[in-house]
Chains A and B, each alone.
Chain A
Amino acid sequence: MIAALSTGGDFAEIFMEDTRGTTLRMLNGSLEEGVSGRDYGVGIRIFQGYRSVYAYTNDASKENLLKVALEAAAALEGTPGLTDIVLNRLVVETFNPIRLEPSSVLHTDKVAVMKRAHGAATGYDQAITQVAITYLDTDQNVLIANSDGLLVEDRRVRTRLGINAVASKGNEKQSAFRGPGAHMGFELFDHIDVEAVARDAARSAVTMVNADYAPSGKYPVIIDNAFGGVIFHEACGHGLEATSVAKGASVFSGKLGQQVASPLVTAVDDGTIPNAWGSQNVDDEGTKTRRNVLIENGILKGYMIDKLNARRMAMEPTGSSRRQSYKYAPTSRMTNTFICAGDSTKEEIIGNTEYALYARHMGGGSVNPATGEFNFAVSEGYIVRNGKIEKPVRGGTLIGQGSQILQKIDMVASNLATGQGMCGSLSGSIPTDVGQPTIRVSEITVGGRKGDN
């Protein structure tokens, strides 16, 4: 770090990572691929005011690290900063205990879980023609030190099962994906009902292959709980990351304290939920994660902020800085993000709706933070008519502007649940939880294939 600061940098940080991982893939019950490996490397970051320099390498020898630090420092100009750094170890009590370490579990036990998932999905219906199962575990050990004197280590063990079921009817195929995961070891499978999740994927695929196309147009949409929270993640969450806020590039820049959403909306990003998929004891800058209230009763309360953007914004970091690996400089990202429970029930919402698209399961989406324009796919949809679910529909895409959609949330149920996803952005692909209760949005543009309702 002293070498890194030799050309005028005012802050240096080392991120060392040693990660072991296993990925297993099964297609139609037959294990086709097994890959295991080790990622190992070091990232060095230097700040000078708002400037930041990042360098990384796989070679952690002292000579090479000094060489890389000087190479990074060469991008800056100035006089040497610190000549001595005293590191104080921050001891972090884990709130993400691991019971069954992936490395202690036999490959054959991992395969057995995959076979259970395969069997349940395949057995659901004859229309299921293909089932692909992916099992993955990672054990990431990081050491983070910086020139402020921080030294902290953290361990993140994550396990996930991916189930992709394909249903066929004549020449048509529809697929459905479910991917439960957690910041846990193999005990994940004591917490989830593998067969039930697999059957749900199969049910969704079969329902969709028999569905008609969603009607196009602008009309109310009911978005179910759990993975439905991807709407908040895309429509709003990315716009609350300091990455875009700090430079005034977000529609939410400069709006703290203002009404940005319907008063029914309270939204939180919480990296401290024990064993949740997006949880970490500390973020990837070594700051303890915390519960950040983003929106409270519709009022914008806070952003997700990393160290570099904290400088630009003159605000404190919020424990939100994350990265895929040492190959990425960290930046503000989401952890477990959700809309909090409201007072209605899902039944009331559906019962009180004359006509709507009911998005029971969402696919992924994306957003342009500068304009707030988002889009996402409805992977399992239904038409609600006169307070009743009428029929399944497929192929719907929701588009709109995040800030407008937030204002149009007119009912929020109490059934908060979360779903797991991988979020891709500047600092790579990271595990994040999305979540919400069932909500109703009074109007969204639905892209489908049919002209009328």
Chain B
Amino acid sequence: MDIHEFKGKVFAAGAAAGLQEMEIYFSQSKNFSTRIFQKEVDGYSVSMEQGVGFRARFGGKVGYSYVETLDQESIQLLVEGAKANAQIIDSDDEIEFFSGSAAYPNVAAYNAKLETLPAEEKIEFAKALESEAFASDARVSMVNWAATGYNETKVYIANTKGLEQSFRRNGAYGLVSAVVREGEQVKTSARMVFSNDWEAFDAKKMAGEAVEEATSLLGASSVPSGDYSVLLRHDVAHDLLSTFVSVFSAEAVQKGLSLLAGKLGEQVASSIVTLIDDPLLENGGASASFDGEGVATRTKTVIENGKLKTFLHNLKTAKKDGVESTGNASRASFKAPVGISPTNFFIQPGELSYEDMIKRMGDGLIIIDVQGLHSGANPVSGDFSLGAYGYLVEKGQIVRPVEQITVAGNFFTLLETVEEIGSDLKFGRPSPGGYVGSPTLLVRHLSVAGM
């Protein structure tokens, strides 16, 4: 049955079972991906998937359930599951089912042209990624990733308080990873592009950059342990920001899991740092007109010239703090309960180009990749200690590649000590945790372990 009929039946069955308020969150997506290896289609995947998340109030508490098929059996599973789960909740959090915002913004996130792009063209693009990589340097021994993909998602939310909203987005990606070899030395580098504008995909540029970077790392060695000035290249900077993004969540703050607690209005970052959450960004990876609770989204400045202006809220945390929801309720998927996450979340770019940033640093290290963010970073303390590689810079010039080092520091200290911000704002990959971006950052005194 279709989702509207299904919703009607679920709400009717729920009412009969004594559920007081109910909400469904439906998502439906179409995916395509292909991977090329040695000029052949090595992987090819197509899918249609859907799921319904259900939450309901029973006896004052809210329980969750989900299904992936819209049939009679699923109706019972949803109603009984949510009811059973509501009965064991003993948290006193007040959860509101939202009746809807007065108005919703118009947000561009869907490109009809991309939807009709033939599979052949995407396959050709992935083939071009591979061939361009091989063509750009004789030391390329393998292209271990040459892939493209497409995703289209429709989200629909409706509840028994009259809320009913839907939103559609699509996007494509291209990924190339080149392996270069010189003697016994092996280096890899990858480039990934996300966009819903097919014009943004340039196989030659992506492959060329990946190969150039991989070859530039040949001959790398470690550096003596010590304190270094460090340029965190835009991609490393947004990965770090993304790892620590939960510290801006009001939920983390209220639960005592963010060291930013109690610091609203205070200077928490260097005065050149401005951090923005902009769900209205045209074709941003996390652009949307409403959030996971149906609240209209809006643009916020989270840090303005170093001062902390707001946390990210959903209805529950906003009520606790006596403020308005910032429209940052998130559903990591239809299976997941309401949480909080940023949308298009980025550090505002500065004036200096990447090259000028290198000159400004003088002596130090450029970090172009870090490993172990999921294990070597602690969002509660802000501490991180990560495997890294990049280049050694002396007198404003790159002198050689660097590997087998770790960089360690603290995210909060890093925010406070950002000395310069580049103009090269770049975003990471869109995820349910937000679309996070940063320009290259110059920081002093990071602890580096090497030889």
**A-side interface residues toward B, CB under 8 Å?**
24, 27, 30-41, 50-60, 68, 71-72, 75, 107-108, 111, 129-130, 166, 168, 171-175, 213, 216-218, 244, 247-249, 251, 327, 329, 363-366, 368, 370-371, 373-377, 394-397, 399-401, 445-451
Contacts and interface: CB of A to CB of B under 8 A. Distances in A.
Contacts of A373: 371, 387, 403-404
Contacts of B49: 41, 56-58, 327
A334 to B, nearest CB: 17
A407 B448 CA distance: 25
Given A54-B44, A447-B408, A448-B447, A33 B337 contact: yes
Nearest to A174: B381
Interface stretch (B64-72, B197-205, B267-275): B64-72
Interface stretch (B251-259, B277-285, B424-432): B251-259
A171 B386 CA distance: 23
A38 B66 contact: yes
A197 B142 CA distance: 46
23 contacts: A30-B92, A35-B64, A36-B66, A38-B67, A39-B68, A50-B42, A53-B44, A54-B44, A54-B45, A75-B44, A107-B85, A174-B381, A175-B380, A216-B225, A327-B47, A370-B179, A370-B186, A376-B372, A376-B375, A397-B376, A399-B387, A445-B222, A447-B408
B87 interface: yes
B64 to A, nearest CB: 4
B67 A216 contact: no
Contacts of A173: 257, 259, 380-381
Interface residues of B, number: 75
Contact of B45 (A53, A129, A365, A401): A53
Contacts of A108: 88
Q: Report which residue of A24, A54, A327, A445 has the largest number of chain B beta carbons within 10 angstroms of its beta carbon.
A: A445
Nearest to B179: A370
Contact of B87 (A30, A107, A371): A107
Contacts of A374: 371, 387
B64 A33 contact: yes
B374 A366 contact: yes
A118 to B, nearest CB: 12
A368 B403 CA distance: 13
B371 A52 contact: no
Interface in B233-259: 255-257, 259
A171 B371 CA distance: 27
Contacts of B77: 37-38
A31 B91 contact: yes
Contacts of B81: 36-37
A358 to B, nearest CB: 17
B449 A217 contact: yes
Please report whether the interface of chain A is mostly helix, strand, loop or mixed according to DSSP. strand
A55 B186 contact: no
Interface in B147-176: none
Please report whether the interface of chain B is mostly helix, strand, loop or mixed according to DSSP. strand
Given A38-B77, A174-B381, 6 more contacts: A217-B225, A375-B371, A395-B385, A397-B408, A448-B406, A449-B408
A141 B37 CA distance: 33
Nearest to A38: B67
Contacts of B256: 129-130, 166, 168
A107 B405 contact: no
A261 to B, nearest CB: 18
A216 to B, nearest CB: 3
Contacts of A59: 48, 69
A363 B188 CA distance: 25
B408 to A, nearest CB: 5
B299 interface: no
Nearest to A217: B225
B385 A396 contact: yes
Interface in B350-398: 371-372, 374-376, 378, 380-381, 383, 385-387
A36 B374 contact: no
A248 B186 CA distance: 12
Contacts of A31: 88-91
A450 B385 CA distance: 12
Nearest to B80: A36
User: Ordered nearest first, which 6 A-B pairs have the shortest CB separation?
Assistant: A447-B406, A34-B85, A216-B449, A375-B387, A37-B66, A364-B375
B380 A57 contact: no
Interface string B47-80: 1111100000000000111111100001001000
A230 B405 CA distance: 20
A368 B371 CA distance: 9
B44 to A, nearest CB: 4
B383 A395 contact: yes
A155 B408 CA distance: 44
A38 B68 contact: yes
Contacts of A248: 142
Contacts of A400: 404
Contact of B386 (A111, A371, A447): A447
Interface in B397-449: 403-409, 447-449
Contact of A35 (B37, B65, B376): B65
A249 B49 CA distance: 32
Nearest to B180: A370
Contacts of B47: 55-57, 327
Contacts of A329: 43, 45
A58 B66 CA distance: 13
A60 B65 CA distance: 21
A342 to B, nearest CB: 26
Contacts of A33: 64, 89, 337
Q: Report which residue of B226, B255, B375, B407 has the largest number of chain A beta carbons within 10 angstroms of its beta carbon.
A: B375
B68 A397 contact: no
Interface in B110-164: 119, 142, 144
B335 interface: yes
A412 B50 CA distance: 49
A24 B64 CA distance: 10
Nearest to A362: B375
B375 A51 contact: no
Given A31-B90, A51-B41, A175 B144 contact: no
Contacts of B64: 33-36
